[in-house]
Amino acid sequence: MAPVSLTIPCSEEAIRALHVGDTVSLSGILVTGRDAAHKYLCERFIRATTIPESERQFYDELRRVLDGGMIYHCGPVVRRDATGKWEFVAAGPTTSIREEPYEAEVIAHFGLRGVIGKGGMGENTLRACREYGAAYFHAVGGAATLIAHTVKEVLSVYKLEEFGVPEALWVIRVEHLPTVVTMDAHGRSIHDQVEALSRAALGRLTCQRAKS
């Protein structure tokens, strides 16, 4: 079965049409963000009573890019080409559960339609996906170089000096980034299903061992 092609930014309708297990090819504008970025967005913008004037332009740009957009949990390896432009050398996903304390608020505040990473996320993020019409897209771990080939352009980078390369917010344009929906907007999570099956299997093994 051919993957679903999805262009970012995308609509809530397009996301709600997806279901766990769907393979999706993503093209369009993404923003990378890991621990430092999520903590910063929540503390400086989402949970703050006012936006500092010195951060207003950055905040407005993020609102524009993330509305209907996606955050990629990625700590890239980058270099500059002969013309001085940034390019991605490696772009593998990082473990997403570290962003669980923040992700639901980021989805709600910025109008995200998707989160990309590996390993899945927890109940708060799943609830936000269902409420706001977002999905979690699982990218292939260990394929950092392959995924980097889907990054066609670095449009801008924020907080590079403050956070460093892996934690900075890189605004990138991708073409045909391969993913699988593992948490959908209908409240389903493959990660929860796998955990439940694993617990049941462990219980059976424990009972068998006790009887032997």
Please identify every residue annotated as catalytic: 38
Here the tokens at position 146 are 């392959």
Which residue, among 190, 163, 40, has the nearest Cα to 105 in the 3D structure?
A: 40
Per-residue b or e along 94-124, where b marks 16 or more CB atoms closer than 10 Å to that residue's CB: bebbbbeebbbbbbebbbbbbbbbbbbbbee
Strands (E), the chain: 4-8, 23-32, 70-72, 77-80, 86-90, 114-117, 135-138, 151-158, 169-183
